Structure 1
Amino acid sequence: MTSTERVVTDEATNRPVLEVHDVSVTFPGRRGRRPARAVDGVNLTVGSGEIVALIGESGCGKSTLARVLVGLIKPTAGAVSYRSEPLGYRAAALKEYRRHVQLVLQDPAAALNPRQNVFDAVAEGLRLHGERQNLTGRVHTAMEQAGLRPVENYLARYPHELSGGQQQRVVIAGALALDPGVIVADEPVSSLDASVRGEILKLILDLRDQLGLSALVVSHDLGLAWNIADRVAVMYLGRIVEVGTVEEVLLSPKHPYTKSLIAAVASAGRAPHPLLTGEPPDPTRIPSGCRFHPRCPLRAEAGERGDICVSTPLPILAADTGQRQVACHLA
């Protein structure tokens, strides 16, 4: 089955499972600095059983958006919805929401309490939600789903007795124990050895196929996106600049930023597009017009035609329309 054939909407409602509506996050200025627009007008959806990869350079706002999606950061503007129900920020509403949308962090060692054994680590979420009925059975099931088999070999072990891959499986098992509909995985394999990364990515795919689990996977790694994603959203300086199926975006990129990201991982001397130069602008001083124009090789080649990139802002991309979307004057 190809990614374009996979079901990406919730069958019961014909709506995406997770939706981001015009979300912005502005951090207040400090020590004389201007406010920083970390996320600036983002629309994004994740469908039922769909894996969406959110990619971009460090500092582009990916992790901030991930934390908005799990309710750790309240957006300055816009809203997040799970199965068409808006996320509320009162304690009871957040607690209920987090049963359904779980975060998996990049550093499992930091995510696990060194004083808790594996059983207690996986059971922690269930206990916080007051779900003690059949606690042992649910912990065992979650561990099996996360590939910690045989379960008996892991229950009494502590994080320092586990490999990095096993630690990440414990974190994932803790998320699965609450039977969520979506996991938000922020760089889930970046701290792992290369030999283990493929196993964790395969686990995420297996969870999608076996449980119908949806996922938003945050990464700077285009290879990760190619291996597991159905769709890819490319983020630059707080905004989504290109979105489409993984084949559309990675095999036929349209935005010059996406092209440059791909060129950066191409073989030496064979890069099909100009390499990205310079650093992303300060989010307290976002450029006028297209925010990518100071680094854009396409604008540099366009001559006077590229003046529009400096003078005219680009429209914010809409939520998933089922169509390829690119925010670029020249693409």
Structure 2
Amino acid sequence: MMITLQELQVYRNFDELANDVLDLAKEILPDKLIYLTAFSDGQQIILKLSDENTQILLSEGMVINLEETVCNRVDFERNQPLIFEDIKKEPCLDDLKEILEDVNIESYLGIPISLVSGERFGTLCAAHHEASHFDKKSVDLLQRIARMFSYYLELERLAYRDALTGLYNRQYLFRFFDALSKEGGVLFFLDLDGFKKVNDKYGHDAGDEVLKEVASKLQLFVEGENGAFAARLGGDEFIINFPGIFTKADLIKRAEKLLNSLNNWAAKYPLSASIGIVAYPANGYLALETLLKNADSAMYKAKGAGKNTYAIF
């Protein structure tokens, strides 16, 4: 599951480590601009630059269409660096030469950064405004730095992600909810109906597969919802957070759509879900513990109404 930029911003010491990565790389290639990028939703984001005042026209926070970047051609499958020592002499870059000229890049080195899962994270790059040589020793050292950075990303991901489902975990929710809820929003608290029977009849391996399928459904459900995320509280309890202000009709529409998706299972298990819904105001005074208690109360009201339904607190 891809690490989001929002998630990166809450990782402990991310800025410090990113700066250390650039400093180490700069020691290896002192005459080059070193920069760190991330891929997200078809875009490349320039996360960090080793130098602000260079002849290369990149800046931190710059967002570029991934298809229009040379980094998109880095070989992540074989974990191989991409090297162009003279952009002008590379016919394979004809479609990108105008873009590269606009940012004044004449030579380029791109090192892939992948998560432990194999998913693409982004690149560690070196660039120069003139044609230049990248020696093998320098490239090898940069690959080692990129690999160490990927290990750091995995450690942070494990701290804030549920090991079974890959969703955010309780620790993430409690540590960062205040920062993520300033605009107000809505919590959906859902609990599976019939999950204990699946565990008892089919075994805990089957139960784990159900939880992973729930996570996939919830992740699909929040895609395209700006700032929304799903988390697993524990057991068969999950949370979806939707930032923003919604009408009652909006909430009903979302709840019914979610219930429908949780009624269809690959293995045809007799499962459904009960959902408790609670809204919270912008810059509100309600603590997360209170919101969860209220959402839990609404969820049990839904179970009392026959399950496979929702209740708004």
Is TM-score (shorter-chain normalized) higher than 0.5? Answer: no
TM-score (norm 2): 0.30
TM-score (norm 1): 0.29
Q: Which has the higher contact order (CA 8 A, sep 6+)?
A: 1
In our comparison, the structure showing a higher alpha carbon Rg is: 2
